[in-house]
Amino acid sequence: MTPLYYLSANEALRLFRTRQLSPVELMRAIIERAEHVEPTVNAFAEQMFEQALRAAAAAETRYRPRGEPRPLEGLPVAAKEEQHIIGHPVTDGTLLRSSYPAGETAVVLARIEAAGGILHARTTTSEFCCMPLSHTRRWGVTRNPWNPHVSAGGSSGGSAASLAAGTAMLATGSDIGGSLRAPASFTGVVGFKPPHGRNPVLPPAGLDPYFHHGPMARTVADCALLQNVMAGEDSRDPASSLPPVTIIPPHLDDVRGLRVAFSATPGDFPVDLEVRANTRAAVGALESAGAVIEEVEIAWRLDEIKQALWAHFGSGLAAELVELDRQHPNTITPYALAFARKGVQTAPHVDGETGRALESAIQGHLDAVFAHFDAFIVPTVGATAFAAGEDYTDTQLMVNGVALEHFSDASLTPAFNISSANPVIAVPSGWARNGVPTGVQVVAAKYDDTTAFRVASAIERTLGAGFAGRRTPALPT
């Protein structure tokens, strides 16, 4: 029997409606689970359990006769600490930022609460949300529930770890270079990067086309449930110009006749042999479901993508962090400082015009794929794990016996932040020998959210990896 804390969100809603489960009972189970596993996992930056229990009691009344439950009524939702909640501190995981209270709530969180979701905890991030790691000097090490010796990934690693550990039913994250998708891959959950403009983000962050707020969940249908609430225009975000797209899970997994391209080793990206094999297994599952599969080459080069990223980030956040380190030495985590120094060193050699030309070429290579296909499948992360608490400033990450210049070179996610109009959903593809999940990214044509969910749902149903296969972490405490 599935423990209450590992129910899917859609199943919990069904049990609420039939009065077989109450929101208070579920919230207590989630809190008890957190008290049991948080000393190991450390996914929470802030706990809001008392107010969550009060909200659960109020939600319970809406399931009584003549009540009107809302779409997320009574579901425990963990929110990434970076996303503001009025009156609560915002630190982005750094000791350099005082715990000032936010003056307003992020649009997507306000919509979740308006839909009946209960924000019961805020989750840890990497410092300044700048790296695919999950440890900071402010919060310590967030660990992967499948294998606590390795990282949950970042920067939305706390949300991913919480879902995998059973301490949240749904969760939110943000993504500027893969921060929803990389931790989803490492923890066996689902993360969706919407097209830029689909989910509103308060400025100034929302003005960056690389940046997105998105949903995370243990199943594709649950991810769709949360995305349906988050999406839609908001006047406070001038970039949120896209209407919401309602994703209807029961009609998602028919992929018969869809043309799907895949690349287990796109461009010259380093990809572990186990990740490659699991990517091919996911594609094989799609083919068994009736999709038309073809392996393709995409002319991406890791060095060109890195140059485009440095042109984008080098003169902004990187320069700010170097100045902060000058004012407050030995305070910033080594991985964040290494990122900043590399950006400042590289930015002068890649001007804005060169960066834009590289972005255009990267987008053009992807557009060429979608001239012939409905979806494109690639691995999410080329490595099978990052060590928990490791900064990778003195340690090199090895993939297939090759030392990477930087551990983040193992992430195959940033190209899809450059091509920001393409929806991308990360789903589990299997497991590595270290017990940690692997994942693939399902990419759809610009603004075609429904196809991305449709293909991801078919992979989940036919492959049965991650939580879709009812496999859960044997977490030591």
* pLDDT (0 to 100) of residue 476: 59
**Mean pLDDT, rounded, for 130-154:** 96
CB 85 within 8 A of CB 109: yes
* pLDDT (0 to 100) of residue 330: 93
Rounded Cα distance between 294 and 105, Å, is 45
In order, the DSSP letters of 37-93 are: HHHHH--EEEE-HHHHHHHHHHHHHHTSTT----TTTT-EEEEETTS--BTSB--TT
pLDDT confidence band for 470 (50 / 70 / 90): confident
pLDDT for 29-72, tens place per residue?
999 999 999 999 999 999 999 999 999 999 999 999 999 999 99
pLDDT confidence band for 257 (50 / 70 / 90): very high
The alpha carbon dihedral of 86, 199, 418, 356 has a sign of negative
Amino acid at 88: H
**pLDDT at residue 381 greater than cutoff 80:** yes
Q: Tell me if residue 155 is catalytic.
A: yes
Hey, is 190 helix, strand or coil?
strand
**Mean pLDDT, rounded, for 154-178:** 97
Rounded Cα distance between 102 and 121, Å, is 16
Q: Would you give the DSSP letter of residue 101?
A: B
CATH of domain 4-302+352-469: 3.90.1300.10
**Mean pLDDT, rounded, for 254-266:** 96
**pLDDT at residue 260 greater than cutoff 80:** yes
**pLDDT at residue 275 greater than cutoff 80:** yes
Question: Could you tell me what percent of the chain has a pLDDT over 70?
Answer: 99
Average pLDDT, the chain: 94
pTM for the full predicted model: 0.97
pLDDT for 307-365, tens place per residue?
999 888 876 788 889 999 999 999 999 999 999 998 888 877 777 788 899 999 999 99
Range with lowest mean pLDDT among 156-160, 170-174, 325-329: 325-329
The two three-digit tokens of residue 443, written as one number: 């990419």
Crossing angle of helices 9-17 and 220-230, in 10° steps, is 80
Whole-angstrom CA distances from 183 to 134, 250, 367 are 9, 26, 26
* pLDDT (0 to 100) of residue 468: 81
* pLDDT (0 to 100) of residue 441: 98
pLDDT for 445-462, tens place per residue?
999 999 999 999 999 999
**pLDDT at residue 471 greater than cutoff 90:** no
* pLDDT (0 to 100) of residue 91: 93
Does residue 395 or residue 276 have the better pLDDT?
A: 276
* pLDDT (0 to 100) of residue 263: 98
pLDDT for 92-124, tens place per residue?
999 987 777 899 999 999 999 999 999 999 999
CB 262 within 8 A of CB 268: no
Q: What Rg value do the Cα atoms of the chain yield, rounded?
A: 21
**Mean pLDDT, rounded, for 78-98:** 93
Range with lowest mean pLDDT among 53-57, 227-231, 337-341, 415-419: 337-341
* pLDDT (0 to 100) of residue 351: 76
> Of residues 134, 151, 155, 411, which has the active-site annotation?
155
Neighbouring C-beta atoms of residue 99, cutoff 10 Å: 10
**pLDDT at residue 413 greater than cutoff 70:** yes
> Of residues 8, 126, 151, 179, which has the active-site annotation?
179
pLDDT confidence band for 251 (50 / 70 / 90): low
**Mean pLDDT, rounded, for 73-102:** 92
> Of residues 80, 156, 185, 420, which has the active-site annotation?
80
Does residue 474 or residue 447 have the better pLDDT?
A: 447
CB 129 within 8 A of CB 179: yes
For the chain, give every domain's residue range: 4-302+352-469
DSSP bridge pairs for 398: 403
The two three-digit tokens of residue 92, written as one number: 């982005």
Q: Would you give the DSSP letter of residue 387?
A: B
